[in-house]
Structure 1
Amino acid sequence: MVDTTKIKEHMPVVCSDGGQFATVDHLDPGNTIKLTKDDQGLHHWIPTDWVTTVDSKVHVDRPGKQAVQDWSNSLPTGV
């Protein structure tokens, strides 16, 4: 399990194929990461379960295209 306390605002989020696909806005309760707004002005959320490592970047377990398809467009329910 990854130490999510290392996830900080404005860290790059990097997919498994090496490219940055997002930036951390903040860590939400309920094990989700809120991402900064995209080019359309929308926030997205990803589960912390995707995170494989945290150094100066947040690394996730899927390629960028899949990550963008799988992220949530709204705050997950129950959070």
Structure 2
Amino acid sequence: MTDLSQIREHMDVIGADGVHVGTVDHVEGDRIKLTKKDSGADVEGGQGAHAGHHHYISVGLVAGVEGDKVRLSATGANAAELFEEEA
């Protein structure tokens, strides 16, 4: 399991295929909160309904932290399908 203390604000979240999924806002429990600016609108396959609010990714999808990037075990498109919506 990845050391969650390595995940910092403004790190890029990258799918296993290298696709940008979002930008870390912060870690909240067992989820990574993504910033609003690109947490869904710019993801390949993302729809307009994903824009304008925070999304969350389970830390269970984190494959590792490499420099200033959080790499996921899922592709960018698959990760977008697994977004948890802001309540």
Q: TM-score range by the shorter chain?
A: 0.7 to 0.9
Residue type matched to 2:34 in 1? L
Query: Are 1:32 and 2:31 counterparts?
Result: yes
TM-score normalised by L of structure 1: 0.86
Q: Which residue of 1 aligns with 2:74?
A: 62
The C-alpha deviation readout for 1:18-73, integer Å capped at 9, x for no partner, is 121100000002x1110000342110001111001102200001111111011101
The gaps in structure 2 that reach 5 residues or longer are 42-50
TM-score normalised by L of structure 2: 0.79
Give the aligned CA root-mean-square deviation in angstroms: 1.2
| Aligned sequence identity (%) | 39
Q: Answer whether contact 2:53 2:86 (CA < 8 A) is retained.
A: no
Q: Which residue of 2 aligns with 1:10?
A: 10
Give the C-alpha shift of residue 14 in structure 1.
0.3
The gaps in structure 1 that reach 5 residues or longer are none
Residue type matched to 1:70 in 2? L
Q: Answer whether contact 2:57 2:83 (CA < 8 A) is retained.
A: yes
Structure 1 runs of 4+ with >3 Å offset: none
Q: Which protein is richer in helix relative to its size?
A: 2
Q: Which residue of 1 aligns with 2:55?
A: 44
